[in-house]
Structure 1
Amino acid sequence: MNKIFKEIMPQSRNTLIIWIGLVVVAFLFGWIINGGEAEVSHNHNHAEGDAGKTTIWTCSMHPNIQQPKSGKCPICGMDLIPVSSSGSESRGARELTLSEYARKLAEVEVAEVKRKAVTKQIRLLGKVEYDETRLSYITARFPGRIDKLHINFTGTAVKKGDRLIELYSPEILSTQRELIESYKTVNRYEGNSATEIFKNSKNQLSSIRERLRLWGLTEKQISAIEKSSHPSEHISLYSTLSGVVIEKNAQEGMYVNTGTRIYSIADLSTVWVKMDAYESDLAWIKEGQNVEFTTEAYPGQSFIGQVSFIDPILNEKTRTVKVRVGVENKNGKLKPGMFVHAIIKSQVGEFHKKTPLIIPASAPLITGTRAVVYVEVGGKEGTYEGKEIELGPRTGDYYIVKSGLTEGERVVVKGSFKIDSAIQIQAKPSMMNPEGGGISSAHHHHGETHKQEEEQNHEKINVSAEIPLAFRQQLDNVYSYYFDVQYSLSHDQFEPAIKQIAKMQHALKKVDMALLDGEIHMKWMEFLNTMNSAAKQLAKAEDMENVRVAFDPLSEAIIKTAKIFRSDKQNLLVFHCPMAFNDRGANWLQNKTGVENPYFGSMMFSCGEQTGDLTPTEVKNNK
Structure 2
Amino acid sequence: MKSILYLTLMLTGLLVLTACRKENEGGGGQKYHCPMHPTYVSDKPGDCPICNMKLVPIKSGQETTPKTSEKPYLPKPGQYYCPMKCEGSISDQPGDCPVCGMKLLLTDEKKAAEFAAAATTPALPAGREMVHVAPERRQAIGLQTSTVEERDLRRDLWGTAVVEHDETRYARVAPRFGGWVKEVYVNYTGQDVQAGQPLFRVYSPELLAGENEYLLALGNLRQALTNTVGSVGRAAAERLAQSARKRLELWQIAPEEIKAIEERGVIGDETLIRAPFNGHVLSRTAVEGKSFMAGETLYEIADLHRIWLRVSVWEKDWPLLRTGMAVRIAFPAFPGVVFTNTISFLYPHIDPQSRRGEARVEMDNPEHRLRPGMWAQIQVEVPLGRRLVAPASAVLDTGMRQIVFLDRADGHLEPREVKVGVRTDDYWEIQSGLRAGEHVVTRALFLIDSESQLKSAVSGMTAGHDHGVQSATNAPSHKH
Q: TM-score range, shorter-chain basis?
A: 0.5 to 0.7
Inter-partner Cα distance in structure 2 for 1:144 and 1:105: 91
CA contact (8 A) 1:293 1:302 kept: yes
TM-score, normalised to structure 2's length?
A: 0.63
Matched with 2:442 is 413
- Amino acid in structure 2 at the alignment position of 1:111: S
For 1:372, which of 389, 403, 408 is the aligned residue? 403
Matched with 1:220 is 256
Sort the Cα spacing of 1:104 and 1:287 in 2 relative to 1 into closer, same or farther, 3 A: same
Inter-partner Cα distance in structure 2 for 1:203 and 1:403: 77
Tell whether 2:156 aligns with 1:156: no
> What SS does the corresponding residue of 2:262 show, helix, strand or coil?
helix
- Amino acid in structure 2 at the alignment position of 1:428: K
Percent identical residues: 29
Q: What's the offset of the Cα at 1:401?
A: 1.1
Matched with 1:285 is 321
TM-score, normalised to structure 1's length?
A: 0.49
CA contact (8 A) 1:373 1:412 kept: yes
Q: What's the offset of the Cα at 1:203?
A: 4.4
Inter-partner Cα distance in structure 2 for 1:149 and 1:410: 78
More off after superposition, 104-113 vs 195-204: 195-204
Inter-partner Cα distance in structure 2 for 1:185 and 1:325: 55
For 1:171, which of 206, 217, 237 is the aligned residue? 206
Superposed counterparts of 1:299-318, under 5 Å: 299-318=335-354
Matched with 1:557 is none
CA contact (8 A) 2:149 2:436 kept: yes
Inter-partner Cα distance in structure 2 for 1:193 and 1:114: 94
Q: What's the offset of the Cα at 1:284?
A: 1.2
Inter-partner Cα distance in structure 2 for 1:260 and 1:405: 68
Tell whether 2:122 aligns with 1:122: no
> What SS does the corresponding residue of 2:182 show, helix, strand or coil?
strand
Sort the Cα spacing of 1:365 and 1:251 in 2 relative to 1 into closer, same or farther, 3 A: same
CA contact (8 A) 1:166 1:237 kept: yes
Q: Deviations over 1:260-313 (max 9, x none)?
A: 111122223333222333332233123333332222212222233433433433
Which runs of no fewer than 5 residues in structure 2 stay unpaired? 1-127, 463-480
Tell whether 2:142 aligns with 1:107: yes
For 1:400, which of 412, 429, 439 is the aligned residue? 429
Q: What's the offset of the Cα at 1:190?
A: 4.1
Matched with 1:261 is 297
Superposed counterparts of 1:243-258, under 5 Å: 243-258=279-294
Inter-partner Cα distance in structure 2 for 1:107 and 1:266: 63
Inter-partner Cα distance in structure 1 for 2:459 and 2:399: 17
For 1:271, which of 303, 307, 317 is the aligned residue? 307
Superposed counterparts of 1:475-486, under 5 Å: none
- Amino acid in structure 2 at the alignment position of 1:373: V
Inter-partner Cα distance in structure 2 for 1:284 and 1:117: 16
Inter-partner Cα distance in structure 2 for 1:166 and 1:95: 89
Q: Deviations over 1:516-553 (max 9, x none)?
A: xxxxxxxxxxxxxxxxxxxxxxxxxxxxxxxxxxxxxx
Inter-partner Cα distance in structure 2 for 1:219 and 1:126: 40
For 1:236, which of 248, 272, 286 is the aligned residue? 272
- Amino acid in structure 2 at the alignment position of 1:254: K
Matched with 1:325 is 361
Structure number with larger C-alpha Rg: 2
Question: Would you tell me which structure has more strand in proportion to its own residues?
Answer: 2
- Amino acid in structure 1 at the alignment position of 2:290: M
Matched with 2:470 is none
- Amino acid in structure 2 at the alignment position of 1:360: P
Question: Would you tell me which structure has more helix in proportion to its own residues?
Answer: 1
Q: What's the offset of the Cα at 1:204?
A: 3.7
CA contact (8 A) 1:96 1:419 kept: no
> What SS does the corresponding residue of 2:436 show, helix, strand or coil?
coil
Inter-partner Cα distance in structure 2 for 1:133 and 1:222: 27
Q: Deviations over 1:548-582 (max 9, x none)?
A: xxxxxxxxxxxxxxxxxxxxxxxxxxxxxxxxxxx
Q: What's the offset of the Cα at 1:189?
A: 5.8
- Amino acid in structure 1 at the alignment position of 2:267: P
CA contact (8 A) 2:318 2:358 kept: no
- Amino acid in structure 2 at the alignment position of 1:300: G
More off after superposition, 253-262 vs 360-369: 360-369
Q: What's the offset of the Cα at 1:394?
A: 1.0
Sort the Cα spacing of 1:388 and 1:251 in 2 relative to 1 into closer, same or farther, 3 A: same
Q: What's the offset of the Cα at 1:193?
A: 4.3
Matched with 1:469 is none
Inter-partner Cα distance in structure 2 for 1:273 and 1:185: 55
Q: What's the offset of the Cα at 1:418?
A: 2.5
- Alignment length, in residue pairs? 334
CA contact (8 A) 2:329 2:340 kept: yes
For 1:147, which of 182, 188, 192 is the aligned residue? 182
Q: What's the offset of the Cα at 1:422?
A: 4.0
Inter-partner Cα distance in structure 2 for 1:230 and 1:271: 44
> What SS does the corresponding residue of 2:299 show, helix, strand or coil?
strand
- Higher RCO (C-alpha under 8 Å, 6+ residues apart): 2
Sort the Cα spacing of 1:280 and 1:182 in 2 relative to 1 into closer, same or farther, 3 A: closer
Sort the Cα spacing of 1:356 and 1:203 in 2 relative to 1 into closer, same or farther, 3 A: closer
Sort the Cα spacing of 1:404 and 1:233 in 2 relative to 1 into closer, same or farther, 3 A: same
Q: What's the offset of the Cα at 1:184?
A: 4.6
> What SS does the corresponding residue of 2:317 show, helix, strand or coil?
helix
Inter-partner Cα distance in structure 2 for 1:221 and 1:267: 24
CA contact (8 A) 1:180 1:227 kept: no
Which runs of no fewer than 5 residues in structure 1 stay unpaired? 1-91, 350-354, 440-623
CA contact (8 A) 2:131 2:448 kept: no
